[in-house]
Amino acid sequence: MADARPTIFVVDDDASVRDAISNLLEAVGLRAKLFASTEEFWKAPRPNGPSCLVLDVRLPGVSGLEFQEQLAKANLSIPIIFITAHGDVPMTSRAMKAGAIEFLMKPFQKEDLLAAVHHGLDRDRIRREEQAEVSILQSRVEQLTSREREVMDLVVTGLINKQIGAQLGLSEVTVKIHRSRVMQKMEAASLADLVRMSDKLKPRPRR
Amino acid sequence: MQTDVLPEGPIRSLIRHCGFTLLFVMAAFVPTLLLQRLFPYPFLFLFFGAVMASAWFGGTAAGLFAVLLSTVLVEYFFVPPFYSFSISTTAEAYFAAFVACALAASWVSSAKKKSEVALKEALDQLEVRVSERTAELMKTQTELAHLSQVLSMGELTSSIAHEINQPLTAVVTHGHACIEWLSASPPNLEKTRQTVERIIQDGTRAGAVLSRIRALVKKEAPAKTWLDVNEVIHELTTFLRDEAVRRGIAIRTDLVPGLPKVKADRVQLQQVLLNLMMNGMDAMAETTNFPKELLISARANEADVMVRVEDTGVGLNAETAEKVFQPFFTTKPHGIGMGLSISRSIVEAHEGRLWATPRSSGGAIFEFTLPVRPRDSDG
Ligand SMILES: Nc1ncnc2c1ncn2[C@@H]1O[C@H](COP(=O)(O)OP(=O)(O)O)[C@@H](O)[C@H]1O
Ligand SMILES: [Mg+2]
């Protein structure tokens, strides 16, 4: 899959801090999109590429932590890097527990911000790749007949053709034919490959 | 109404009461005398009016006096035989009824008056009590306002810290960006120039925040009055006693009575003391081997009043003793590090000095002076 250019969203109500962050990101070749408030963020279109969010904790209206919850509720799993003027331990641990990448104290150092941003982008990239792979696999599964799907479900549990035939009331030869059609349609190179695919297709709790 | 309250000798009051009792009775007597020609029976009702009026204004004694006068007049003029002090047997009952009614009228009237006076007094007292309580409440309220001013210091410094931290963050971040633009090959000079301009803007903004605060502090500064330092110390120790007990700390004071007064801003002096005392208590949070004790003492010489706050806490060394006064220096997880810096500028604005020394047996001593006769004083 072609990797679109990464975007770093910056939400801070202070214009000079926002500009400075964008200047630094631009200087290291990263693209930033700036927002003065969380409402602005919701309204704006979000480019389809790996992204992460640099978020001020102290915002007028919705606080950064509340915004983190809102994003989770809206199923927007974008990695978050918090920036704050004062280190509040309970606040930090709450944010980290909810999956934040990093909690940076203002003024922060370049290395810390960039490391966090890259970490966030990597995480988002992996998540996107996984998601893309899952959707490809899903479209392949949809091409299977219901019989083939049954055969596949049993194959991945490690049963041999004879056992599968017995369970489904089919001859061993028929199972063999279904099995090779499954391998073909799923584009699986080996049995191990098919097992891995079926694992990916299982609904998982999100990170 | 007011005339009743004015001091009046008992004799004069008696004469006055007799006077208007006579007046009332005469006012009843004359018309009765005239009316007698028109009515077949003596028309005595006006006398009841006179008795009631006398009892109302003059009290029981005046009422009885009016009864006596009326009785004499009625007996002489209106009870047959007329114009004589003798009474015909047929008029005896009539006359007795008159006297009884007059007495009753007098009693009712004076009793009513008495209860009315009592009610009025109760109301007056209530009013006085209410106004006293209101004054007390207002005093407490101003005291509370002062205290909250002292306590909101922490909040104020925290918002100041935030206001300055924002442009500071921008400056640092632009600085990093600047290095990046310069180390590109070829260096991006246009971006570098723009970035430096932003740095100048943000630095200027931080400066503006500071001068705004300075203006704010200045505006509040000149509320200097002659103060008894012992009194301010006493107020604060009382105020902090509960907190100290909660933290297992004993607050002791060692004050010399009759210290000369100093000219100072009460709220600011409270701020300094509160800061030093809170710091002392914070410093003892982890003490285990000492008794936790905060000692506040005050002394004076010809020139200055000296106040000392000692604790048995973690203490200082000669090197940190000066560092602690730097703005934003703090070793506390939630500290702001402005308390001592602000305290020192307050004391210096009062032409005094504030410094710290290690205590020989562990702990810290913070001491400040306030001149007894500052230059700008008018005394
Ligand atoms: N009585 C004391 N004993 C030891 N250290 C002290 C004492 N008072 C102040 N300090 C040190 O000085 C620092 C600065 O104090 P202050 O300016 O009041 O700010 P804050 O209380 O917010 O830290 C404290 O964090 C502490 O390290
Ligand atoms: Mg302090």
**What domains are there in chain A, each with its CATH number?**
7-131 (3.40.50.2300), 143-200 (1.10.10.10)
* Omega cis (within 30) before B358: no
How far, in Å, is the centroid of ligand 1 from the Cα of B339? 8
**pLDDT at position B5:** 47
Instruction: Kindly state if the Cβ of B324 falls inside 6 Å of ligand 1.
Output: yes
What is the Cα Rg of chain B in Å? 42
Strands B250-255 and B293-300: parallel
Cα atoms in the Cβ-side hemisphere of radius 13 Å centred on B118: 6
Instruction: Kindly state if the Cβ of B331 falls inside 6 Å of ligand 1.
Output: yes
CB contact under 8 A, B177 and A26: yes
**pLDDT at position B143:** 61
Strands A51-56 and A7-11: parallel
**pLDDT at position A3:** 55
CA-to-CA dists, residue A19 to B48, B160, B162, B228, B352, angstroms: 99, 22, 18, 53, 44
User: pLDDT digit string (tens) for A45-96?
Assistant: 888 889 999 999 888 778 888 899 999 898 888 999 999 876 667 778 888 8
Residue type, position B350, single letter:
H
How far, in Å, is the centroid of ligand 1 from the Cα of B311? 12
Helix, strand, coil abundance in chain A, percent, nearest 5: 55, 10, 30
**pLDDT at position B147:** 57
Q: What is the pLDDT along chain A (207 residues), one digit of tens a residue?
A: 445 789 999 999 899 999 999 999 999 999 999 999 998 999 988 888 899 999 998 887 788 888 999 998 988 889 999 998 766 677 788 888 888 999 998 889 999 999 999 999 999 999 999 888 999 999 999 999 999 999 999 999 989 999 999 999 999 999 999 999 999 999 999 999 999 999 888 875 544
- Residues of B in Cβ contact (< 8 Å) with A23: 173-174, 177, 191, 195, 198
- Is the CB of residue A62 less than 8 Å away from at least one CB of chain B? no
CB contact under 8 A, A19 and B201: no
Structural domains of chain B, with CATH? 10-124 (no CATH), 156-219 (1.10.287), 223-379 (3.30.565.10)
- Please, what are the averages of pLDDT over each run of 10 residues along chain B (379 residues)? 54 83 88 80 82 87 88 83 79 84 88 87 82 69 57 61 85 94 92 93 85 62 82 89 88 94 89 91 84 94 94 90 86 81 88 94 94 65
User: pLDDT digit string (tens) for B84-122?
Assistant: 778 788 778 888 888 888 888 888 888 888 888 888 888
Q: What interface predicted TM-score (ipTM) does this complex get?
A: 0.75
Instruction: Kindly state if the Cβ of B271 falls inside 6 Å of ligand 1.
Output: no
User: pLDDT digit string (tens) for B238-285?
Assistant: 888 888 888 899 999 999 999 999 999 888 898 899 899 999 999 998
CB-defined contacts A:B, below 8 A: 78
Interface test with A, best of B176, B201, B328 (most A CBs within 10 A): B176
- Residues of B in Cβ contact (< 8 Å) with A19: 170, 198
CB contact under 8 A, B202 and A24: no
- Is the CB of residue B190 less than 8 Å away from at least one CB of chain A? no
pTM beyond cutoff 0.90: no
Contact indicator for B320, B326 with CB cutoff of 8 Å: no
**pLDDT at position B217:** 58
* Omega cis (within 30) before B257: no
* Omega cis (within 30) before B327: no
CB contact under 8 A, B172 and A17: no
**Å from B158 to nearest chain A CA?**
9
**pLDDT at position B230:** 95
Instruction: Pick the residue from chain B with its C-alpha nearest to A110.
Output: B176
Ligand 1 pocket mutation, candidates B292, B334, B340, criterion most atoms within 8 A of CB: B340
Chain A, 111 to 150: residues with Cβ < 8 Å from chain B are 113
Instruction: Pick the residue from chain A with its C-alpha nearest to B161.
Output: A85
Q: Is A54 helix (H, G, I), strand (E, B) or coil?
A: strand
- Residues of B in Cβ contact (< 8 Å) with A113: 173
**pLDDT at position B142:** 62
- Is the CB of residue B196 less than 8 Å away from at least one CB of chain A? no
